[in-house]
């Protein structure tokens, strides 16, 4: 048992890349994504930044088809998710998603949150699923709280359970939509630490975030979006440290110095 746990833990993360081409998405007459091209190489960590309403969440949700794109193609780990005949559920098993509001299942314990999809979707036995779940709860530092229910956990702990839940499906790509925006400041660090480790282990990650420090440190690449288009992308140091586009500069000035008031405006 100890042996199988360690060998499971040692198993290399299978990384899948994402390739988005000419993606467009409208709600009624409101075009939210206006032709997005974005590549995430296997094992790469890409942070998506941009002002509120720029379409970051919509883009992320298109990747695992929580939103249906109107035009364009998305390839995820051997699936063309925009193909009308794609097996959506099979594709989603390879793509873990972490939400701003955690969305833990409140009627299930932390452990059950991590086992339910394993048993019902992957058809793992209860024992196997529990073993995988415990391994992943340990990975986020919460194996000692496996029997707690979500309402008995702090926001940061809930978000870490949500990450363990997604990891328990052995995803090849992880999507994060502002995973720390709903947290008390003192628990943000724990969640970011878990994500940092995940990045080190070689997980492919597409992260929407306002945490510029995290993006700068962990991201291989940073993509700045505004008004439904990619305005600027490149190495984290370049986009956050020395942005070339005026819209990026303006956005970063506001985010990095929220009290700054531009008199000229």
Partner 1 sequence: MAMTVRQRARVSRSVQYGLLALAVVLFILFADWASIGKAFFNWDSAVKQFPEIITLALKNTLIYTALSFVVGLSGGLLLALMKLSSVAVWRWIATLYIEFFRGVPALLVFIAFGFGIPTAFGVRFDIYVTVMLALGMVAAAYIAETLRAGLQAVPKGQLEAARSLGMPHWRAMVSIVIPQAFKIVLPPLTNEVILLTKDSSLVYLLGLAASQYELTKFGRDGITQPNAGLTPLVIAGACYLIITVPLGILARRFESRTAKTKG
Ligand X SMILES: Nc1ncnc2c1ncn2[C@@H]1O[C@H](COP(=O)(O)OP(=O)(O)OP(=O)(O)O)[C@@H](O)[C@H]1O
Which one of partner 1, ligand X, Mg ion, none interacts with residue 117, CB within 5 to 8 A by kind?
partner 1
DSSP state, 243? Answer: -
- Specify which residues 222 forms β-bridges with: 47, 234
* Terminal Cα-to-Cα distance of the chain (whole angstroms): 65
Q: Write out the binding residues for partner 1, residues 81-110 only, by CB under 8 A.
A: 89-90, 92-93, 95-97, 99, 101, 103-107
70: Cβ–Cβ under 8 A, 6 or more apart, which residues? 24, 25, 26
Indicate whether 27 belongs to the interface with ligand X (CB under 6 A).
Answer: yes
Give the count of beta carbons closer than 10 Å to the beta carbon of residue 119: 16
User: CA-CA distance, 120 to 89, in Å (whole number)?
Assistant: 12
Which one of ligand X, partner 1, Mg ion, none interacts with residue 262, CB within 5 to 8 A by kind?
none
Q: How far is the CB of 260 from Mg ion (least distance, A)?
A: 23
Q: Which stretch binds Mg ion (CB under 5 A): 11-19, 56-64, 133-141, 253-261?
A: 56-64
Q: How far is the CB of 90 from ligand X (least distance, A)?
A: 25
Is the distance from CB of 94 to CB of 88 less than 8 angstroms? no
Is the distance from CB of 68 to CB of 260 less than 8 angstroms? no
Q: Which segments of the chain does DSSP mark as H helices, in order?
A: 2-10, 56-63, 88-93, 110-120, 126-139, 155-167, 185-200, 212-218, 236, 246-256
Identify the sign of the CA torsion 201, 204, 207, 211.
positive
Nearest to Mg ion of 48, 137 (CB atom): 48
Q: Binding string to partner 1 for residues 44 to 73, with x set by CB under 8 A, is what?
A: --------------------x-x-------
Burial of 257 (0-12, 13-18, 19+ CB in 10 A): exposed
Among 57, 64, 81, 136, binds Mg ion (CB under 5 A): 57
Which one of partner 1, ligand X, Mg ion, none interacts with residue 107, CB within 5 to 8 A by kind?
partner 1
Q: Which stretch binds ligand X (CB under 6 A): 51-59, 109-117, 156-164, 252-260?
A: 51-59
Indicate whether 68 belongs to the interface with ligand X (CB under 6 A).
Answer: no
Nearest to Mg ion of 57, 248 (CB atom): 57
Q: Which stretch binds partner 1 (CB under 8 A): 22-30, 31-39, 114-122, 124-132?
A: 114-122
35: Cβ–Cβ under 8 A, 6 or more apart, which residues? 22, 23, 24, 71, 72, 229
Which residue ranges make up the site for partner 1 (CB under 8 A)?
64, 66, 89-90, 92-93, 95-97, 99, 101, 103-107, 116-117, 120-122, 151, 162, 165-166, 169
Which residue ranges make up the site for ligand X (CB under 6 A)?
27, 32, 50, 52-58
């Amino acid at each position: 048992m100890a042996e199988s746990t360690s060998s499971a833990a040692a198993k290399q993360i299978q990384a899948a890349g994402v390739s988005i081409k000419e993606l467009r998405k409208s709600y009624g007459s409101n075009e939210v994504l206006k032709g997005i091209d974005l590549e995430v190489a296997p094992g790469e960590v890409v942070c998506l930044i941009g002002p509120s309403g720029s379409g970051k969440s919509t883009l992320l949700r298109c990747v695992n088809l929580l939103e249906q794109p109107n035009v364009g193609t998305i390839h995820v780990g051997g699936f063309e998710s925009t193909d009308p005949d794609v097996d959506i559920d099979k594709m989603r098993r390879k793509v873990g998603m972490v939400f701003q509001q955690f969305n833990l299942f409140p009627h299930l314990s932390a452990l059950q949150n991590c086992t339910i999809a394993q048993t019902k979707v992957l058809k793992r036995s209860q024992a196997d699923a529990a073993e995988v779940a415990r391994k992943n709860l340990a990975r986020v530092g919460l194996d000692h709280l496996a029997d707690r229910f979500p309402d008995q956990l702090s926001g940061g702990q809930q978000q870490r359970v949500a990450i363990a839940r997604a990891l328990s499906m052995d995803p090849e790509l992880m999507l994060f939509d502002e995973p720390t925006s709903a947290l008390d400041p003192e628990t943000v660090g724990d969640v970011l630490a878990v994500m940092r480790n995940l990045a080190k282990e070689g997980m492919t990650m597409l992260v929407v975030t306002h945490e510029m420090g995290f993006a700068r440190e962990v991201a291989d690449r940073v993509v700045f979006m505004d008004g439904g288009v990619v305005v600027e992308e490149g190495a984290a140091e370049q986009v956050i440290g020395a942005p070339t586009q005026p819209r990026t500069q303006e956005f970063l000035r506001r985010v990095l110095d929220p009290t700054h008031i531009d008199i000229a405006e």
